[in-house]
């Protein structure tokens, strides 16, 4: 949209407030609200000033003056605030509207520009699937003398014997929540409300359903888009889902593993490349109808996966989901059907239009702008270096990994077992991210510093389970 078109929309809809949104380096959303009465073409073209030193991973206090420049193509009505409010994403800029290299959205834009500069493809398409948990109530505390969390979920199997509230007995049995119907799936109506709200905000919703875990694990899938647009949608999706849940008296978390002994939440990343309107990942007759270029792309993803996980699985909690023996995609192989593989090629979508690959390891604590850009850079490095995933020992693996012999399992490479391992891998392997100036050394140093703070916060605190294991030794 042009500035004049935005101003006309403000008048037509009686908009009272303009709200701009962006995410910090870790991926948490922030916003600024300005009365519509003070918005003119100059503001829309020149941006809004803010203090970058107060945002994690951005500037120090000595160089804190920064600018939020609206992206007018992302304008949408925000239904969750008082008064008719128009919201949009912004790019974070330095004074003079100079590019700011640590702005996650600018990283996504640079990744798309780099892709075009290679001549390999015009566009990359991304269809992230973000799973989440919806609880009735959550309490937690960490202090020098206490540490605990407590989750309440009316549909959880462990509450079947409770008598302090009305209890219908309809509970989601352990690991049996997938696609369950009402009355077991008592969150259907809330997901529908979320889906309808997302549709009003421009999403094409393809389906929603209950997921595997017992206590309110859900998924709502939306239509794929180009890289930056898909990252915008992933960030807005989390915003909408959390706020609709709040309106129903529920709370949502995108933590990968909030519950012990239950499936964790992933962010499966469907992706493909296209040029001149043609899907470059499709070649009839190849393995799962994949082209040689797609295989090289897979080779790049799996080769760099240990380093990628520091960005795509960036929380200490991420590695409580990535545990061998569950359905978690810990095996660095590709497959046309095996959901324990890090990369799955959907066998039911293998036409010239729909062929794609699905990187199943990422989770929704990831900053989507950085996560999608990093995966693209790994895949492009695989194409550039012609990394053959079969020759490199990455499959294809169409057998059930859990039924392989110990000797056969030992041959399969696995993802890092902790955030610390992933960060060390990123330190050793990140040149592929620097190509074309997409990521910078400065950004990666800031990212690694943030992650090492989080690692230290976990490693230096006693955990409740340690009291159970060691208190009476």
Backbone angles phi, psi at 248, to 5 degrees: -95, 5
Cα 47 to Cα 66: distance, rounded to the nearest angstrom: 10
CA dihedral angle for residue 379, residue 384, residue 390, residue 393, rounded to 10 degrees? -80
**For the purposes of burial, counting CB atoms within 10 Å of the CB of 400, is it exposed (0-12), middle (13-18) or buried (19 or more)?**
exposed
Q: Which residue, among 20, 6, 29, 4, has the nearest Cα to 70 in the 3D structure?
A: 20
Active site residue 268: yes
CA-wise closest residue to 435 among 115, 47, 87: 115
Q: Is the peptide bond before 396 cis (omega within 30 degrees of 0)?
A: yes
The one catalytic residue in 78, 129, 221, 232 is 129
DSSP 263: P
Q: Is 129 a catalytic residue?
A: yes
3-state secondary structure 131-197: EEEEECEEEEEEECCEEEEEEECCCEHHHCCCCCCCCCCCCECCCCCCCCCCCCCCCHHHHHHHHHH
Catalytic residue, candidates 78, 91, 101, 131: 131
Residue among 381, 375, 382, 378 nearest 359 (CA): 375
- Closest alpha carbon to 288 in 365, 198, 389: 389
**Long-range contacts, stretch 3-12, CB < 8 angstroms, 24+ apart:** 3/41, 3/44, 3/45, 3/72, 4/41, 5/72, 6/44, 6/72, 6/75, 6/86, 7/39, 7/40, 7/41, 7/44, 9/75, 9/86, 10/36, 10/39, 10/86
Tokens 């929704």 sit at which residue?
A: 364
The residue annotated as part of the active site, out of 78, 101, 232, 358, is: 358
358 is catalytic: yes
What span, in angstroms and rounded, lies between the C-alpha atoms of 458 and 418?
A: 12
> Cα(233)–Cα(228) distance, rounded to whole angstroms?
9
Q: DSSP secondary-structure letter at 91?
A: E
Annotated catalytic residue, options 109, 268, 356, 430: 268
How far apart (Å, rounded) are the C-alpha atoms in residues 341 and 170?
Answer: 33
Active-site choice (155, 211, 221, 381): 211
Among the listed residues 185, 219, 363, 381, the single catalytic one is 219
Beta-bridge partner residues of 350: none
Active-site annotation holder among 31, 157, 339, 384: 339
Q: Which of 360, 381, 420, 430 is catalytic?
A: 360
Q: Of 51, 73, 445, 459, which residue is the catalytic one?
A: 51
Residue 51 appears among annotated catalytic residues:
yes
Backbone angles phi, psi at 379, to 5 degrees: -65, -40
What is the DSSP-derived secondary structure letter of residue 58? S
Known catalytic residue at 82: no
Q: Write down how long the chain is.
A: 473
Rounded Cα–Cα distance for residues 379 and 299 (Å): 7
Q: Which residues are catalytic?
A: 51, 129, 131, 211, 219, 268, 339, 358, 360
């Amino acid at each position: 949209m042009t500035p004049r078109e935005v101003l006309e929309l403000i008048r037509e809809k009686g908009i009272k407030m303009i709200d701009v949104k962006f995410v910090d380096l870790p991926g948490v959303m922030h916003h600024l609200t300005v009365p519509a009465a003070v918005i003119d073409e100059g503001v829309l073209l020149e941006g809004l000033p803010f203090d970058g030193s107060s945002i994690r991973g951005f500037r120090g206090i000595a160089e804190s003056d920064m600018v939020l420049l609206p992206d007018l193509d992302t304008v949408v009505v925000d239904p969750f605030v008082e008064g008719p409010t128009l919201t949009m994403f912004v790019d974070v800029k330095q004074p003079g509207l100079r590019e700011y290299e640590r702005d996650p959205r600018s990283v996504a834009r640079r990744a798309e520009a780099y892709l075009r500069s290679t001549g390999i493809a015009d566009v990359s398409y991304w269809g992230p699937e973000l799973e989440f948990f919806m609880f009735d109530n959550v309490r937690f505390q960490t202090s020098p003398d206490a540490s605990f969390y407590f989750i309440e979920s009316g549909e959880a199997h462990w509450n079947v014997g409770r008598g302090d509230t009305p209890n219908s007995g309809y509970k989601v049995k352990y690991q049996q929540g997938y696609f369950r119907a009402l009355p077991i799936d008592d969150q259907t109506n809330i997901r529908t409300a979320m889906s309808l709200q997302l549709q009003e905000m421009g999403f094409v919703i393809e389906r929603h359903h209950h997921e595997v875990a017992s206590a309110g694990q859900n998924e709502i899938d939306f239509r794929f888009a180009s890289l930056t647009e898909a990252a915008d949608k992933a960030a807005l999706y989390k915003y909408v889902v959390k706020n609709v849940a709040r309106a129903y008296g529920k709370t949502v978390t995108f933590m990968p593993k909030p519950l012990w002994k239950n499936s964790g939440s992933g962010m499966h990343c469907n992706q493909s490349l296209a040029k001149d309107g043609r899907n470059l990942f499709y070649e009839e007759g190849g393995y799962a109808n994949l082209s040689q270029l797609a295989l090289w792309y897979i080779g790049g993803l799996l080769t760099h996966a240990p380093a990628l996980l520091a960005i795509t699985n960036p929380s200490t909690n991420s590695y409580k989901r990535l545990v061998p023996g569950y359905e978690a995609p810990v095996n660095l192989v590709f497959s046309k059907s095996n959901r324990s593989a890090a990369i799955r090629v959907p066998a039911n979508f293998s036409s010239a239009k729909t062929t794609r690959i699905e990187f199943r390891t990422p989770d929704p604590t990831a900053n989507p702008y950085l996560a999608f850009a990093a995966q693209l850079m790994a895949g492009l490095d695989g194409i550039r270096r012609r990394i053959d995933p079969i020759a490199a020992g990455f499959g294809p693996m169409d057998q059930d990994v859990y039924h392989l012999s110990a000797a056969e399992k030992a041959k399969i490479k696995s993802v890092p077992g902790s955030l610390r391992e992933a960060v060390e891998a990123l330190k050793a392997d990140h040149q592929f991210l620097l190509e074309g100036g997409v990521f910078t050394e400065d950004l990666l140093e800031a990212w690694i510093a943030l992650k090492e703070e989080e690692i230290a916060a976990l490693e230096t605190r006693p955990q409740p389970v340690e009291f159970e294991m060691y208190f009476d030794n």
